[in-house]
Amino acid sequence: MCLHCYAESAPAGRHGPMTAADWIRVIDQAAACGARKVQFIGGEPTLRPELPDLVGHAAAAGLRVEITSNLVRLPARMWTAAALPGVELGTSYYSDDPAEHDAIVGRRGCRARTTATIETAVARGIPVNAGVIDVRPGQRVEGAEAALRELGVTRIVVDRLRHFGRGAAGRPPEVAELCGRCAKDVVAVLPDGSVTPCPMARWLSFGNVREFPLATLVRGTAARRIRAAIGEATTWTANCASSTQGGGCTP
């Protein structure tokens, strides 16, 4: 259980009320709105049994797809989905020191297993994006970057710890902690159907896709109000911890 998890995910977490049919409908609505990419993120999205089907549906709809996972373990069906054209993997990587990495993610052996999965993906020609989050003083961030490049990962973003979820250490969330790109060409749909500016801004909601179409929500009054508030409080930077492309937010 990652010490800083922005989603406050935990082993006891649930998938939420969104069904596979709900997610397929949202994917279709996103494509109709002009979305170019969909990112499946968590927690750990690979625990969702129907995720390979959702990835396949998004890819068939012409969307680029990123599966953002801890990459500790990918079931066979996930490997099949990850090998589809336009699909890539994303992960977080914290240190070239196994003990430090494992202490941050809260489980021994995770760095070795994540590293092995990255090696397999690179060998199979599956693109891998990595985010290195500077979580604590003295962390071997540069070592993590070097280790990733040795593995063949070329798309790496480094970001500071953002004060959201468990990373907030009990502080209330602040709009100023966002990168500033949120809600402009990026939105997130949470497991309960809430639409938010990005995965880090889970306390700001435009409404719910179980009640209204996605297009209605992203063009509505609440969305415009939240966009304005974010724009006033932030200065956009490409170095967002949700971004593994280096050129803007990817969720």
In tens, the pLDDT along 24-82 reads: 999 999 999 999 999 999 889 999 999 999 999 999 999 999 999 999 999 999 999 99
Q: How far is CA 161 from CA 17, 75, 141, 189, in A?
A: 30, 30, 12, 22
Q: Please give the pLDDT value at position 245.
A: 42
Q: Is residue 182 part of a domain?
A: yes
The tens digit of pLDDT for each residue in 122-144 reads 999 999 999 999 999 999 999 99
Q: How far is CA 47 from CA 41, 43, 50, in A?
A: 11, 9, 9
d(CA 75, CA 14): 19
How would you class 127 by CB atoms within 10 Å of its CB: exposed for 0-12, middle for 13-18, buried for 19 or more?
middle
46 and 3 share one domain: yes
CB 215 within 8 A of CB 32: yes
Q: Which domain holds residue 41?
A: 1-10+18-171
75 and 141 share one domain: yes
d(CA 202, CA 46): 20
Token pair in block for residue 211? 């009640």
Boundary (domain end) residue, out of 171, 186, 214:
171
Q: Please give the pLDDT value at position 250.
A: 40
Q: Is residue 247 part of a domain?
A: no
Boundary (domain end) residue, out of 139, 171, 203:
171
25 and 146 share one domain: yes
135 and 158 share one domain: yes
Domain count, the chain: 2
Q: How far is CA 241 from CA 57, 124, 159, 160, in A?
A: 27, 26, 5, 7
Say which residues have a Cβ less than 8 Å from residue 60's Cβ, sequence separation at least 6: none
Q: Please give the pLDDT value at position 232.
A: 79
The per-residue DSSP string of 5-18 comes to -TT---TT----S-
Q: Is residue 250 part of a domain?
A: no
Across the chain, what does the average pLDDT equal? 88
Query: The CATH number of the domain where 156 resides is what?
Result: 3.20.20.70
Token pair in block for residue 233? 């409080």
210 and 124 share one domain: no
Give the predicted TM-score (pTM) of the model.
0.89
Q: Is the pLDDT of residue 11 over 80?
A: no
Nearest CA among 79, 78, 14, 76 for reference residue 43: 14
Peptide bond just before 43 cis, omega within 30 deg = yes
d(CA 101, CA 243): 20
Q: Is the pLDDT of residue 107 over 50?
A: yes
Q: Is the pLDDT of residue 251 over 90?
A: no
Which amino acid is it at 44?
A: E
d(CA 162, CA 134): 9
CB 134 within 8 A of CB 83: no
Q: How far is CA 186 from CA 34, 51, 90, 119, 149, in A?
A: 11, 21, 17, 30, 28
